[in-house]
Amino acid sequence: MANIKNIFKGLLPTNKKQWKIFLACLGISTILWSLLRFSEERNDTIQVQLNFINYPKNELLVSSVPKSISVTIQAQGFELISRSFGFRTSNLNIDLSEAKVLNRNDEKHYIWIPNQHYIQISQAIGSKLKPGESLSKTDTIRLIFSEKVEKELAAKFSYKVNKAREHFILKQPVLSPSLVTVRGAKSILKNIDTVYTEFSELELLDADLNASYKLKTPYGIDSLYKDSVHVF
């Protein structure tokens, strides 16, 4: 045991000057090791932000829009670190006019398959992609659109009476106009017959309803040709 202690004691610096030299050599060695380590190429998965361009005309989007896809790249450690800290990002433009289109009932599905666009993704990223495997874990990017059509919907007053007494004397509200023309996605409008006003709370049954009330825009509706109705 004493021999081992003597060996370690002989390896360590014994004075201040030797300690300075030792620490300097240790620092230089660490820097050189880091440079060699981070200059090596490694595989890592990054997120590529998606930008969709050339949306179809006279059609309305009825699905969610993916914001990014994960892609496996092959790059030096320095680049991977800069990406992990957000100093370097990648954006990919997807042209919907060049996407494959599938017609399904009243919907059009625009299909874009990442693994069929190796060169485009590689150019957008500016890094080598990992060879021999699927480009992305996302098999298919799909945006769903539907033709814009017009339809007349019945307008209804959405309300609640807080101090309700003698319910039978409450007259049904009269709306003007009673029908409202809207424009929206054909696949959604075919299942909608009514458009409601924004919810109102009435304190008394005999509350004065002679006022205009704003209409709520249902999901899938692009435009209300009249945004409010008069309630009597």
Q: Is 79 helix (H, G, I), strand (E, B) or coil?
A: helix
101 vs 116: which has the higher pLDDT: 101
Predicted model pTM: 0.73
Polymer length of the chain? 232
Model confidence at 160, pLDDT cuts 50, 70, 90, reads confident
Say which range, 61-70, 106-115, 134-143, 160-169, has the weakest mean pLDDT. Answer: 160-169
End-to-end CA distance of the chain: 101
Domains and CATH numbers, the chain: 39-139 (2.170.120), 148-231 (2.170.120.40)
